[in-house]
Amino acid sequence: MTSPLRSYLDWNATAPVRPEVMDAVTRALGLAGNPSSVHAEGRAAHAAVERAREQVAALVNAPASRVVFTSGGSEANVFALTPSLTLNDRRPTTHLLMSATEHPCVRDGHRFSKADAIEIPVTADGLIALDRLAEALAEPRDGRALVSVHMANNETGAIQPIAQIGLMCREHDALLHVDAVQAAGKIGIDMTTLGADVLTLSAHKLGGPKGVGAVIFGSDRIEVRDRLIRGGGQEKGARAGTENVAGNAGFGAAAELALAELEAEAPRQRAMRDWFETELRAKLPATTIFAADAPRLPNTSCFATPGVRAENALISIDLAGVSVSSGSACSSGKVRPSHVLQAMGVSPSLAGAALRVSLGRLTVEADLKRFLAAYAKHVSVVNFQKAEAAG
């Protein structure tokens, strides 16, 4: 998304809200009724919510009746990751198996005890170690396992072999939760073939409103008995509280547009990403591109140049008019190494240099050229300063 002054290359963090989504939200804000009311105004609001439910369901080829709206992807994940998630056979779900590169809302937000939450390691490319997952699934336990694996990593873009994991779960009578927040709208998702029992989404990654998400069940046999929000019958009893009519309507509009554009946008962004990485390596041969040998989202590039501190690079690049993210998470002014890169075996020094460029539907080549110029200049200054200090 280039302009005379700025280039936005942080679409994995959030996508700019689409004009069509703004229109859908504005129209929904004009609906006076409560979706639970039986009068004409209430029925109009209810119809807007149900229309959005159909649009979100279509994005992942699922029945609309299995979509539950939430306040975002984090709530959706916490809602799903509970021992009370079960099939209607009532066999207890006793333990959680999750990949070591899951989002913090999965790693820290699940509702299992610490002793019953088990991390499965990943390969150097960030893919879950299937042999270790198989061992954990085969370990004798009284209850059923819940496996949680994200479809694609937000930092590296690595795409997990979800269909294969789904088959493994079926073989061991385990349930599978898939966090598809980062994948939706970037790659195709079909719940009829994926093997997921529960899938979670977030609107703002698609150009929808922030603060809206969804849980989608893979079967009518699955239920969450311990609801997060109780007190009303909304969302078929799954989540109490008056529905976010405007937010849901915006989510639906964003989902419909993302699905319509997927076939054209995915190859366009992949071509730009590949061109970008070729140019990056040509300018800075020492640069490492993470998960380069794994299947990746078409829009994502995570990389590091030795000796470059990510926090300094971000400031320099921002001043040059480009918005990107670091492979490190910043909290309360302290930079912590990315747990994703740590799990992949990346050295702390290289992980501390990691940056992420993520593309979107408005990205053009000029945006990437602006970043390359700014980043190369920053690396040159860093190297010059080091040479002077050593001299």
The total of other beta-carbon atoms located within 10 Å of residue 352's CB is 21
- State the DSSP H helix or E strand holding residue 154, giving kind and residue range, or none if neither: none
CA distance 124 to 134: 18
- Nearest of 207, 291, 325 to residue 255 by alpha carbon: 207
Q: Can 105 be counted among the known catalytic residues?
A: no
185: left (phi over 0), alpha (psi -120 to 50) or beta: left
Q: Which one from 105, 169, 302, 330 is the annotated catalytic residue?
A: 330
**Can you tell me which residue has the tokens 């150097």?**
124
Amino acid letter, residue 76? A
Q: What are phi and psi of 54, to 5 degrees?
A: -65, -40
Q: Which two tokens stand for residue 257?
A: 């547009």
- Are β-strands 300-304 and 288-289 bridged in parallel, bridged antiparallel, or unpaired? antiparallel
Terminal CA-to-CA distance of the chain, rounded, Å? 42
- Nearest of 314, 227, 298 to residue 264 by alpha carbon: 298
Residues classed as catalytic: 330
